[in-house]
């Protein structure tokens, strides 16, 4: 199976599951975004336990609301945060076609 098709199917499955389990959080709709969910704060905190996190000096993230806690932790841990602006992401999607 084509990897892009697999990724699309997995995304659709996760969006549906988050809605069915009623754990999706603002912003809506979930489709076509990295979804925010109940427990995203806990997930962000768990990142700090990873060796990759501990060793990283620079962390790249995205502007999606679901990763807000991750961005805050990056800054609180005195790490360098790199994040694309929404306009760059939209331009990237246009270029990809």
Output the pTM of the full model. Answer: 0.73
pLDDT tens-digit readout, 23-59: 999 888 888 888 899 999 999 999 999 999 999 999 9
Identify any residues that bridge with 83 across adjacent strands, giving them in sequence order. Answer: 61
DSSP string, 49-82: TSHHHHH-SEEEE---GGGHHHHHHHHHTTPEEE
Question: How large a percentage of the chain has pLDDT more than 70?
Answer: 87
Q: What's the pLDDT score for residue 6? A: 94
Q: Quote the tokens at residue 58.
A: 């620079």
């Amino acid at each position: 199976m084509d990897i892009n098709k697999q990724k699309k199917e997995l995304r659709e499955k996760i969006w549906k599951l988050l809605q069915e389990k009623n754990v999706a959080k603002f912003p809506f709709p979930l489709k076509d975004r990295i979804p925010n969910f109940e427990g995203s704060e806990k997930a962000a905190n768990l990142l700090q336990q990873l060796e990759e996190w501990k060793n990283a000096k620079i962390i790249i993230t995205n502007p999606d609301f679901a990763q807000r806690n991750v961005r805050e932790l990056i800054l609180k841990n005195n790490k360098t945060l790199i994040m694309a602006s929404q306009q760059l992401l939209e331009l990237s999607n246009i270029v990809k076609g």
